[in-house]
Chains A and B, each alone.
Chain A
Amino acid sequence: MDRKRNASAVKALISLIPGLAYFLEGHQTLSLIWFFVTLAILGLALWRGHTWLWICLALWWVGSSYDVLMRYYRNTSRLWPAVLAALVAFYGVGWEVTEIDLLAPFQRFDKMKPYLVALLQPDLILHPEEREVFQVPIEMPCVKEPQPKTIGHKETITVSSGCAWTGDTLKVEGETLRPGFKVELWWVNPIGERQRILKGGTPLTLQTDEHGRFTAEFTVPKAIPVGFEPKPGEYQVHTLQVHLVRRVGMIRPSDALIEVALKMGETIAIALLATTLAVIVAAPLSFLGARNIMGGSIPTRAIYYLMRLFFNVVRSVEPMIFGIVFVVWVGLGSFAGMLALVAHSIAALGKLFSEVVEHIDPGPVEAISATGANRLQVIRYAVIPQIVPDFASFTLYRWDINVRMSTIIGFVGGGGIGFRLSEWIRLSAYRQVATAVIGIALVIIALDYLSSQIRRRIV
């Protein structure tokens, strides 16, 4: 009776220390997991100091003990209460530190909108045009009685009032201008911010008639610069610009389009060169990293393990990190980007290649060895014919990847399209960004298709 009670007490004690029961049952890994999870929740609770984390810790504790007691008395495992408590703690803290803001994408949609709009009208073509600009100063607000204002002698522009305020309606007329020109109205505020004058949400566009006349009414836009509001009794001078526009000559690709095409070419070339250099290095190395080639003696096996270690370590470094390293090392530009790609590709290809070499059919190798061929001849006549298709296919695939990576590495200064794209993003050149994004997408889709077609042919 007494012993029985003692046994129960021991069991209760064991159940109170998370993981101990598992340790005693010989599940070392499980007990370690329990130990570290307990520590982790405790650490989180101490760090963030929230009450709900302490509650999670308590629930975890109770849950673990409950599990152990179930194991002792019911012979079943009841893990979910403890696991649930731990998950709540981890995900809760995860949510908190990520500062998840589900509303941000909607509330800040206006930040994204220009890019989306620009995607529909990328900067692709340029229509050279002739543009004559008339400037009419407008005082804001009116401090005197409004007076119509006319500028010019032979060609005149008349505005119904030389002063106005945001929301006022003004009438503008042109006389004896050049006939058959398009007319655009622009508003420029004192700090030089320009905006096109709209009517009903779209840019107001008119045409001069055969006598060179036009008439338009428009609403003065919001243009007072923030922080430069005129003091009472004072005014600031804005400018109404009247543009007479006529297209001349042929359309041609825009500067941005030419730039994107050139840089895309540069990107593809960087990727191609990097892939080629990487193959030249990785192909021989891959033999050193193949077990069936290097398995023979202890020194060769040592080289094999070293090679594998090298491939795995280098492969795990993001190309972006290499990009930063090489930009520091050899300076900004395509060369740094290329070296970054080479470094990563050597390891990635080396690993893939050595696996290809490991999976060749050993039969032909034996057969050629048995003819008295030397090691290199065996590689040339028994190994290489077997690996060429896979090597070629992995190389193409790598080139494809490198084109993508190259655009990313450009962002950290590695040349190519990425470099220019990052500049345009910084300058808020939305339409140019759109041109670049569309260019990158098209090239990658084309390459993807091309390389998969070629790969299908050779395998």
Chain B
Amino acid sequence: MPLIVEHLTKIYPDGTRALNDVSFRVEDGEFVAIVGLSGAGKSTLLRCINRLVEPTSGRIIWNDIDITAASPQELRRIRRQIGMIFQQFNLVKRSTVLTNVLSGRLGYLNPWLTLLGYFPPAEKKRAMEALERVGLADLAYKRADELSGGQQQRVGIARALMQEPRLLLADEPVASLDPVLAHSILRYIEELNKEGGVTVICSLHFLDLVHRYATKVIGLKDGFKVFEGRPEEIDDRRFKEIYGQEAERIGG
């Protein structure tokens, strides 16, 4: 059940053309890296997929369902199967780690009970398991803002795990972390991808990370897709196409 993006265009209300006629196809189980300069449209592309950003035109089809045409109710059913993690982690800082993780499950639970703050014991158990998987079980009752950056991102992953996602969107998940932590976070994502069979679409800044983790790369420049292929296909010429003529290659 592939993800098919067709002629996706996004024009922001202020006239910025963030995406121009972008089309590609992602097969199940792939680890796709989205690369491009700052402002190239990476975040916009990822956000269009779960419609945090409303596309201006084009279609996104997943599991034979047109996400772009989904009603609000259908959209929630789709979203709950798509995990998302963010550069700034986007945890609810004043809530506990456990609550943050549990909130990943909201789309599956009785809304009225959750409004009262009730989560079934089975869900709490699931949340503790998710925290164990990212190695944070003993921090479950700490406030989220008491954790370090790397720990917060692992909470973000645990929150996504609660959704039992079939697709994981990651918007520069390691850009705020040091290189050692970056690898540890990406390994969790890789594990999900390899062992859980979760399709991953992840925007990344560093090419060495792309080479290490991705099975496929999509390059964006000024909202246009300028590259689609395997990581090892990115040679100097392609690199300059994506990052501009003046760019120097570092690492990778």
Contact = CB atoms under 8 A, between A and B. Distances in A.
Contacts of A366: 52, 86, 90
A370 B156 CA distance: 12
A6 interface: no
Nearest to B75: A372
A385 interface: yes
Given A374-B111, A376-B111, A368 B106 contact: yes
Interface in B89-127: 89-95, 99, 103-108, 111, 114-115, 117
A386 B115 CA distance: 16
Interface string A256-282: 000000000000000000000000000
Given A380-B114, A381-B103, A370 B94 contact: no
Contact of A363 (B77, B86, B99): B86
Given A363-B86, A385-B92, A388-B94, A371 B79 contact: yes
Q: Which of A371, A376, A381, A388 has the most CB of B within 10 A?
A: A371
Most chain B CB inside 10 Å of its own CB: which residue of A366, A373, A374: A373
B101 to A, nearest CB: 11
A381 B94 CA distance: 11
Contacts of B107: 371-373
A377 B92 contact: no
B76 A372 contact: yes
A197 B115 CA distance: 75
Given A373-B106, A373-B107, A374-B76, A364 B92 contact: yes
Contacts of B106: 368, 371-374, 377, 381
Contact of B76 (A373, A380, A385, A389): A373
B72 to A, nearest CB: 8
Nearest to B82: A370
B153 interface: no
Contacts of B80: 371-372
A363 B89 CA distance: 8
B77 A372 contact: yes
A386 B107 CA distance: 21
Contacts of B86: 363, 366-367
B84 interface: yes
B103 A371 contact: yes
A369 interface: yes
Contacts of B83: 371
A382 interface: yes
Given A385-B95, A389-B94, A369 B79 contact: yes
Interface in A362-403: 363-364, 366-374, 376-377, 380-382, 385-386, 388-389
Contact of A368 (B93, B103, B108): B103
A331 B94 CA distance: 46
A421 B28 CA distance: 79
A367 B111 contact: no
A385 B88 CA distance: 18
A372 B80 CA distance: 4
B52 A370 contact: yes
B20 interface: no
Nearest to B112: A376
Contacts of B105: 371
A382 B92 contact: yes
Interface string B52-86: 10000000000000000000000011111111101
A372 B115 contact: no
A412 B208 CA distance: 76
Contacts of B95: 381, 385
Given A380-B114, A381-B92, A373 B103 contact: yes
Contacts, number: 85
B42 interface: no
B91 A372 contact: no
B159 interface: yes
B44 interface: no
Interface in A339-380: 361, 363-364, 366-374, 376-377, 380
B199 interface: no
B76 A367 contact: no
Contacts of B99: 381
Nearest to B162: A371
Contacts of A382: 92, 103
B163 interface: yes
B50 interface: yes
A361 B90 CA distance: 9
A385 B91 CA distance: 11
A377 B94 contact: no
Interface in A383-440: 385-386, 388-389
A385 B163 contact: no
Interface string B129-162: 0000000000000000000000000001001001
Contacts of B81: 372
Given A366-B52, A388-B94, A372 B79 contact: yes
Contacts of B108: 372
Given A377-B111, A381-B106, A364 B76 contact: no
Contacts of A385: 92-95
Name the residue among B81, B82, B94, B169 with the largest chain A CB count within 10 angstroms: B94
Contact of B159 (A367, A369, A389): A367
A367 B84 contact: yes
Given A367-B84, A371-B80, A376-B111, 18 more contacts: A363-B88, A364-B90, A364-B91, A366-B52, A367-B91, A371-B79, A371-B105, A371-B107, A372-B79, A372-B106, A372-B107, A380-B115, A381-B103, A381-B106, A382-B92, A385-B93, A386-B92, A386-B94
Interface of B: 50, 52, 76-84, 86, 88-95, 99, 103-108, 111, 114-115, 117, 156, 159, 162-163, 169
26 contacts: A363-B86, A363-B89, A364-B93, A367-B84, A367-B86, A367-B159, A369-B79, A370-B50, A370-B79, A370-B169, A371-B103, A371-B105, A371-B106, A372-B79, A372-B80, A373-B103, A373-B106, A374-B76, A376-B111, A377-B111, A377-B115, A381-B92, A381-B99, A386-B92, A386-B94, A388-B94
